[in-house]
Amino acid sequence: MFEADPPSIQGNDPVVLTASFIKNIDVHFLPAGGQVPPRRFELANLTLHPAYGSYGILRRIVDSEPKDYYKTLWSKSAEVPIWIGSCKFDQPFDYILQAFSETKFGGARVTRGVLEALVTLADVVGLIGKGELSARMSTEEVGSVPIAISKDRPIIEAIRKMVSHNIRRLFVEKEQGKFISDRTLIDYMFSPHRLGVARDHPELWIDETIEKLGTKTPARCRTGSLDEAAKLMGSAPDDCLMTDEWRVISRWDLVVKPWRAGRLEAVEQA
């Protein structure tokens, strides 16, 4: 259930390199190599390890002045980590789910001696889709109302909205369920053309409206079983589902919400 080993990002690597890996190899997270020590989250009895993802980069952009955008691109990746939980290979599976729940990120670092692997929400959704786990709830119980934004709003407004609401998708008003995501933003901002703009005119790097971005369309699923919904979830990091009742179903909804409710269970194999 583990992801294939993605490249490890060093703390001294520039943000622009980290974003390039995220953009081009389509991973959920990149592990952090050295230089950034782990932290203890005593309240949840978790050791947190740094990793790199779209959210950390967007958060740094929100905190930067437009005139400094190019400097931000070449700042150290050690300044933009996200913090994911960890557990040992022989600990109960619930430790991984607890890490997801407590850190609010869909990733956890699993260790076995000197070996390490990343487990993500996508891995767990895959187990539900294969019938090895069952999320005994309905889409009506876990679905979320889409958060929308007009296509004529500035890109920086979309970034701020994602960061402030701790979400990774915004649905475009009057666009029949189409959405932009953290990956949409990374793809646009770190394209060769936009990087050239950042170099020559930093303040204009993201000085465009949302209509300049590409959009995605969620897969439609019938209102009903989460186990059936899990089979429809795509493989891209920002994929999601939309129900007949226009409720969004994310991997978080498929895994963490049932687990918190005590309704994510292993299925006994015949």
Q: Among 131, 152, 180, give the residue marking a domain's end.
A: 131
Task: State the residue range of the domain holding 33.
Answer: 9-131
Contact 233, 102 (CB under 8 A): no
Q: Do 183 and 159 share a domain, yes or no?
A: yes
Q: Do 262 and 148 share a domain, yes or no?
A: yes
- CATH number of 80's domain: 3.10.580.10
Measured in degrees and rounded to the nearest 5, phi and psi for residue 238 equal -100, 10
SS3 107: strand
What would the pLDDT profile of 180-196 be if each residue is shown by its tens digit?
A: 999 999 999 999 999 99
| Amino acid letter, residue 170 | L
Q: Is residue 4 part of a domain?
A: no
Q: Do 125 and 149 share a domain, yes or no?
A: no
- What is the domain count for the chain? 2
Tell me: pLDDT of 121 over 70: yes
| Amino acid letter, residue 261 | A
Contact 258, 142 (CB under 8 A): yes
Task: Identify which of 178, 148, 191 has the alpha carbon closest to the alpha carbon of residue 238.
Answer: 178
What would the pLDDT profile of 50-105 be if each residue is shown by its tens digit?
A: 999 999 999 999 999 999 999 999 999 999 999 999 888 888 999 999 999 999 98
pLDDT band at 32 (very low <50, low <70, confident <90, very high): confident
For residue 33, the tally of other CB atoms under 10 A from its CB is 15
pLDDT band at 5 (very low <50, low <70, confident <90, very high): low
Q: What is the mean pLDDT of residues 200-223?
A: 95
Tell me: pLDDT of 177 over 50: yes
Contact 80, 57 (CB under 8 A): yes
Share of the chain above pLDDT 90, in %: 71
pLDDT band at 6 (very low <50, low <70, confident <90, very high): low
- DSSP secondary structure, 4-59, as one string: P-PPPEETTSBHHHHHHHHHHH--S-EEEESSS--EEEGGGTEEEEEEE-HHHHHH
C-alpha Rg value of the chain to the nearest Å? 19
Q: Mean pLDDT score of the chain, rounded to an integer?
A: 91
In this prediction, residue 33 carries a pLDDT of: 79
Share of the chain above pLDDT 70, in %: 96
Contact 83, 39 (CB under 8 A): yes
Please tell me whether the overall predicted TM-score, pTM, comes out greater than 0.85 for this model: yes
Residue whose token pair is 């439609």: 220
Q: What is the mean pLDDT of residues 258-269?
A: 91
Q: Do 196 and 226 share a domain, yes or no?
A: yes
Token pair in block for residue 52:
């790199």
SS3 65: coil
Q: Is residue 38 part of a domain?
A: yes
